[in-house]
Chain A
Amino acid sequence: MAATAMSVSERPVIHRLPQHKYIDAVRWLPPLSTFDRFAVLAAFDTDSGSSSIEIHSLNPNPLSLQPHSSFSSSSRVSSLRASQFLQKTVVAASTAAGSLHILFSDSADATFESEVSMPEEEGLHSVPGSCVDLMDGGVECVTVGEDGRVNLVSIGNSNLSCDRLFDSGGLVSYTAAKWASPMEFATGGYGFSLQWWDKRKPGGPVSQFKANWDQKFTAGIVHSIDIHPSRKHTCLAGGSLGTVFAWDLRWQQQPIILSEAGVQSISESEVWEVQYDRCIKSSTTSTRILPAVICSEDGILAIIEQGEEPIELLAEPCAINGFDIDRHNPSDVICSLEWEAVAILTRR
């Protein structure tokens, strides 16, 4: 493991907040006012066997999370997204049972005030393991699953309407999805495969990426994708075996590997989530891949940058299952830790 040493003054301030529930996913909510900050947590209480999606308010002194509003979900949340639409906050959650919940919260007080769901009986996805991404502006969702279905769900005030864009019939499974533009999105799956889709062209992906990975090397599963708004042609993906790579649509079949298991790697296990680091202002003219933050099964939260040593932000004795960078305060990162806790980092 290689990581550049940080001086004490550069080290982030870390708060670990035990939740006494397993945290399946965590997101910052878009800010409602300059003073109040909120995060949304998908929690699973093993004692009662119940799942919930909870809004917590962030109290600054001492830093703590206060339960604010809660919605009980029928099954465990598999992925969680938050966005803003008009004056409302929209939270989208896909569950292990294959249902989809869209929660609206009033911007004034950040409590859940209405909800529309696509119950599992509607057959959005037939198997455990589905992933949702909410379009910026929050009017449309894409959900993908291991059953090989790619659905577009448009969000109305009182109902959801689902449109199946593609169904591979289980021949191909999808494990991650991310919008690139209002018309295009990317998905990822087994064997480090990535697909590029266009809403206007149903019937299959418009482009597929599948490099010939190293012979000795087993290709893994893509767990997370991010696409930077300023560089829509580049798809950043993180997955098994500490692998993080970028796929430039213009340079097809040539992955740019940012990290993989081996000498230079910061992690050798599953990279559960990857996001472009909005904290670092990189020159826009640079042709290099923008710096990104990753979290991993072996408890690492780190910044990786093409051609640079990774910078370790957090090293935990347990897995970091997910994280979110606050878009409006990019120095703040919230992480969900395997040991029933949430960690909040403030970078200086």
Chain B
Amino acid sequence: MSRVASDTVGNGALVPFSEDTKDSLAVYPLHHGLAPPISRIAISWARGNSLRVSLFAAPSSEHSRTPQDHSGGKVLEVKLGVGDPEISDSRWRQIAYGSVAPFALLQSRRSALSEMIKSSSPYQMDWWENVLEYSKDITSLLGGPKLPPGPIIEERTDIVKKREEPTCLKAAWELLEIFYADKQSQAWLPEKLVDWLADYDSLFSSTHETVYGKLARFQKELVNIQVLEDDPRYWEVMSSALSVGWLDIVVKMLRLHGSYQLDQLSNRELENGLVEAVAVLISKMPRLCHESTNGKLGELFKSKPDFIKAWEKWRSQITKLDCSPFWIQCDNHHTREGLRNLLQIMLGNTESLCMATCYWIELYISHFLYIRPFTTGIESMYNLAQKCIQLKPPSSNHKLTGLIVGILEENTEVVLAESSREFGPWMVAHAIELLTAGSEQAEIVLHDERYNLGGISMIELHRLVYAQVLSSHALTWQIAPIYLTSCMKQGMGLLENLLYRQSIQHNDLLLKNIEICRLYELDHISSDIMKVAGVYHWKHGHKGAGVYWLQRSKDTSRLNRIAQQLFDSVGKSISDESFKQWEGLIELLGSESKPAGGLEFLHKYRDFKRSLQQIYGGKSTDAARQAVGSLILLMKNPSTPQRFWLPLLYDSLKLFNWKECPLLNVSETNLLLNKLQELSWARLRPHFSEPNLPAEALSSIRLALATNLGRAILDE
């Protein structure tokens, strides 16, 4: 991908663009520091989301060339996109690392389960418990421990407690968990949603007004307000908080009412009585709940019949208070109207709820709380949502609302698309596990192999996409295999690609790569990688490392070939001092059973050299015999290169002329003489390289061998 830039280099822009495309255009300034004009640009993909831009400066004319102007071009990497504003790259990597273990555990459980199904027929009904455990693990990764729901008032001025910043990602995950993974919560969906909104209402503040936003703003102004109950905002904020069920906040705020102050208590007794009555009613609101949630106001009921009884009793108490004659006697207009509005909210007055809530989800939640606490079934929940959207049409779309609507529509494809669009490949690859646990219909949709996807399923597609994202980063590529191996059709092929693509220059990386091959039993790949590493090291002059890797990959043919190259330097530099350097390499070759190819010659050569050295030191006949043994072995061995024959024999002159006794017997001497004969024929061929030996070398060897032969014949 490259193109020659047009000639608008003067202002720094390389390609002119028209005004009408400006909205969809992202401009990345390049700080290349090259003097214009730039003659050529090449653009290619770098790792991940980066483009590699190579800029070539035009060869400058002679007179403009300055001494500093020697750079003819520059290569830059441009990172595309701005990333996620909510979650930084390093945080994403932490999430990626953390989700490996839960994902792998779930996959291994699934395969264990499918084994079980093969043997026994009944389908495991509590698979969702595994999925729920997985989901909880992922949730804990996305943020700290869950705090008591809802903002809490601590001090007079502290209505909304600052907590760990919630993220849309965590909110979305919990939403999926509530609807798909947690089968126990199916009967309590509305209550779960109430809790969910209490945790995440603040997120919606980014696109529109929320109850949380109102509360937070009011808290800031609280210190400046003299008479709280005379401020209409006090009542407005309380009605909003009540409408979404943040009972503890409302009760706490009610207790800030001026009539509670000691100096006013006596002359505002009636007013205070009414405030307190409402506060008590609020704190006694019956709530349906399957688990004891600590710190939550309201009377908790675990069974529906009990709840219904309590609910009706509570409603009648509210109605009674609403019709009470005390209201007329209450002379504080603000208090009277404010409190009665709170009662209307609790009685489920649609108009009051509509006024108190800010957007459709809050209205939706308030419906569950005060109008239809017995809503069950997704379909009726969806109808209610439709109604709320009509009552409060959304002005702008928040990234979570699309997801919520998709879930309520029971449209798996929409849920997937929304997750993918708003939260990226990590979300989809991991959330699919929840979706498949949700319903059989979803499972069919997701597992179905599709022709238009090249015969793979949606599950596989999204895992592959996520694995590609992981593969593109230097720190996460090592976890991609876990996802790739869970893909039946394309996974292994892509894994092979990934492994082949890694750099082999650094041992750490190379060894990690080989370790992955070992884990997935990809011996042929690790063997190939070792070969590549061997050749790389060999070419870069690390002969030892090159030999090591080629040996490990059992690549005899390449070892043979490099042996020929090695011998060139052996032949020249085998003087006794430099032999120290060779010793280590020869040690590396290991025992003879190891595949060493032509290099095994070096071994015997080393043994021969050693025993020769001993002879020059002392004059032991035993050592000399040993040396002869090595020499004969070397000369018999077909892997000994021909060009070494003459130097070897020349080195051994001393052995042939041994004073005490002839060291070689008749057949051995004949063998060497034959080799000498062979050599003289070989000399006639072209390309024969003459060893660097004195001119009389050949004749002196011949003479010595002949003498030895004579002595040996006499001996025998």
Residues of A with Cβ closer than 8 Å to B?
18, 20-22, 46-47, 96, 127-129, 146-148, 168-173, 175, 189-191, 193, 195, 203-205, 208, 210, 212-213, 215, 218-219, 221, 240, 268-270, 297-298, 317-319, 321, 338-340
Contact = CB atoms under 8 A, between A and B. Distances in A.
Interface in B568-604: 577, 580-585, 587-588, 590-591, 593
B162 interface: no
Given A170-B541, A193-B588, A195-B584, 6 more contacts: A148-B544, A191-B548, A203-B580, A215-B591, A221-B507, A339-B97
Interface stretch (B300-308, B510-518, B667-675): B510-518
Nearest to A318: B97
Contacts of B473: 46
Interface stretch (B86-94, B205-213, B437-445): B86-94
B94 A18 contact: yes
7 cross-chain pairs, A with B, having the tightest CB-CB distances, nearest first:
A172-B584, A20-B90, A339-B97, A190-B548, A204-B580, A210-B587, A170-B541
Contacts of B506: 96, 128-129
Contact of A168 (B97, B515, B552, B581): B581
Given A210-B587, A219-B590, A340 B542 contact: no
A217 to B, nearest CB: 10
Contacts of A146: 507, 537, 542, 545
B544 A171 contact: yes
A254 to B, nearest CB: 15
A103 B344 CA distance: 72
Contacts of A173: 542, 544-545
B478 interface: yes
Given A170-B541, A190-B588, A240 B511 contact: yes
B43 interface: no
A219 B548 CA distance: 9
Contacts of A148: 542, 544
Interface string B482-525: 00000000000000000000000111100110010010000000
B584 A193 contact: yes
B384 interface: no
Question: Most chain-B CB neighbours within 10 Å: which of A46, A47, A205?
Answer: A46
Given A47-B89, A128-B505, A148-B544, A172 B94 contact: no
Interface string B464-479: 0000000001110010
Nearest to A172: B584
Contact of A191 (B475, B537, B587): B587
A270 B518 CA distance: 12
Nearest to B79: A47
Given A170-B544, A191-B588, A215-B591, A319 B97 contact: no
Interface of B: 89-91, 93-94, 97, 100-101, 473-475, 478, 505-508, 511-512, 515, 518, 537, 540-545, 548, 551-552, 577, 580-585, 587-588, 590-591, 593
B545 A270 contact: no
A218 B584 CA distance: 17
Contacts of B590: 191, 210, 212-213, 219
A123 to B, nearest CB: 14
A297 B541 contact: no
B544 A46 contact: no
A290 B160 CA distance: 59
9 contacts: A146-B537, A148-B544, A170-B544, A171-B544, A173-B545, A189-B544, A193-B588, A210-B590, A340-B90
A339 B515 CA distance: 17
Contacts of A297: 511-512, 515
Contacts of B507: 129, 146, 175, 221
Nearest to B566: A171
Contacts of B588: 172, 190-191, 193, 210
B571 to A, nearest CB: 15
A249 B506 CA distance: 31
B624 to A, nearest CB: 25
Contact of B584 (A47, A208, A213): A208
A4 B521 CA distance: 28
A286 B584 CA distance: 33
A270 B542 CA distance: 22
Contact of B511 (A20, A171, A270): A270
Contacts of A208: 583-584, 587
Contacts of B97: 318, 339-340
A46 B474 CA distance: 8
A129 B515 CA distance: 19
A269 B541 contact: no
A317 B583 contact: no
Contact of A317 (B94, B100, B515, B548): B100
Nearest to A21: B90
A289 to B, nearest CB: 23
B506 to A, nearest CB: 6
Contact of B593 (A189, A215, A269): A215
Contacts of A270: 511, 515
B542 A127 contact: yes
A215 B548 CA distance: 16
Contacts of A298: 515
Contacts of B508: 321
B544 A190 contact: yes
Contacts of A47: 89-90
B587 A169 contact: no
A230 B577 CA distance: 35
A328 to B, nearest CB: 29
Residue of B91, B94, B590 most packed against chain A (CB within 10 A): B590
A30 B714 CA distance: 78
Contacts of B541: 147, 169-170
B586 to A, nearest CB: 9
Nearest to B593: A215
Given A129-B507, A173-B545, A168 B584 contact: yes
Contact of B475 (A46, A193, A195, A203): A46
B515 A171 contact: no
Contacts of B518: 268-269
Contacts of A340: 90, 93-94, 97, 475
Contacts of B537: 146
B335 to A, nearest CB: 47
Contacts of B512: 297, 319
Contacts of B545: 146, 170, 173, 190
B710 to A, nearest CB: 42
B475 A22 contact: yes
Given A148-B542, A190-B588, A317 B474 contact: no
B582 A171 contact: yes
- Which of B94, B474, B511 lies at the interface centre, i.e. has the most chain A CB atoms within 10 A of its CB? B511
B431 to A, nearest CB: 21
A339 B153 CA distance: 39
User: Looking at B97, B506, B544, B583, which has the most chain A CB atoms within 10 Å of its CB?
Assistant: B544
A155 B591 CA distance: 41
Contacts of B548: 190-191, 221
Nearest to B83: A47
B544 A172 contact: yes
Nearest to A171: B585
A194 to B, nearest CB: 10
A147 B542 contact: yes
Contacts of A219: 590
Given A128-B506, A189-B544, A191-B588, A171 B593 contact: no
A270 B94 CA distance: 24
A210 B577 CA distance: 21
A171 B593 CA distance: 21
Contacts of A215: 591, 593
Contacts of B505: 128
B426 to A, nearest CB: 15
Nearest to A297: B515
Contacts of A193: 584, 587-588
Contacts of B593: 215
Contacts of B94: 18, 20, 339-340
